[in-house]
Amino acid sequence: MSLIILSPLDLSIAAFLVVVLAALTARVGMGLSRSLLVAGTRTVVQLLLIGLVLKVLFDNAQLYWVAGLSLVMLAVAGYEVMARQGRRFSGWWGYGIGTSSMFVSAFAVTVLALTIMIGPSPWWEPQYSIPLLGMLLGNTMTGIALGLDRLTQTAWQQRRVIEARLMMGQAWGSSISSIRRDAARSGLMPIINAMAAAGIVSLPGMMTGQILAGAPPMEAVKYQILIMFLIAAGTGFGTLGAVWLGSRRLFDERQRLRLDRLKPGRGK
CA–CA gap between residue 208 and residue 35 (Å, rounded): 27
CB 91 within 8 A of CB 30: no
- With bands split at pLDDT 50, 70 and 90, how would you rate the model's confidence at 209? confident
Using alpha carbons, select from 124, 127, 130, 134 the residue that is nearest to residue 231. 134
Instruction: Judge if the upstream peptide bond of residue 122 is cis by omega within 30 degrees of 0.
Output: yes
218-249 pLDDT tens trace = 888 888 889 989 999 999 999 999 999 999 99
Q: What is the pLDDT of residues 91-100, one digit of tens each?
A: 899 999 999 9
* pLDDT of 266 above 70: no
Q: How many Å apart are CA 185 and CA 163, to the nearest integer?
A: 23
Tell whether the model's pLDDT for residue 149 goes beyond 80: yes
Q: What is the pLDDT of residue 250?
A: 94
Please classify residue 28 by burial: count the beta carbons closer than 10 Å to its beta carbon, then call 0-12 exposed, 13-18 middle and 19+ buried: exposed
* pTM (predicted TM-score): 0.84
Q: Is 199 helix (H, G, I), strand (E, B) or coil?
A: coil
Task: Report whether 99 contacts 78 (CB < 8 A).
Answer: yes
* Start-to-end C-alpha separation, the chain: 42
Ordered by start, the domain boundaries in the chain are 7-60, 62-264
Question: Do 142 and 179 touch, CB atoms closer than 8 A?
Answer: no
pLDDT of residue 205: 73
Q: What pLDDT is stored for residue 83 in this prediction?
A: 87
**9-23, pLDDT tens digit by residue?**
999 999 999 999 999
- Cβ partners under 8 Å of residue 200, min gap 6: none
pLDDT above 60: residue 268: no
Provide the pLDDT for residue 45.
Answer: 94
H/E segment holding residue 262: strand 262-264
**250-263 tens-digit pLDDT:** 999 888 999 888 88
Q: What is the pLDDT of residue 212?
A: 72
216 pLDDT tier (thresholds 50, 70, 90):
confident
- In degrees and rounded to multiples of 5, residue 257 shows phi and psi of -70, 125
- Name the pLDDT band for 2 (thresholds 50, 70, 90): low
1: pLDDT strictly greater than 70? no
Per-residue pLDDT tens digits for 110-146: 999 999 999 888 999 988 899 899 999 999 999 999 9
Using one digit for the tens of pLDDT, what is the confidence trace for 44-85? 999 999 889 888 888 888 899 999 999 999 999 999 999 888
- Residue 267's pLDDT band, with cuts at 50, 70 and 90, is low
Segment 163-167 shows an average pLDDT of 93
Q: Give me the pLDDT at residue 141, please.
A: 94
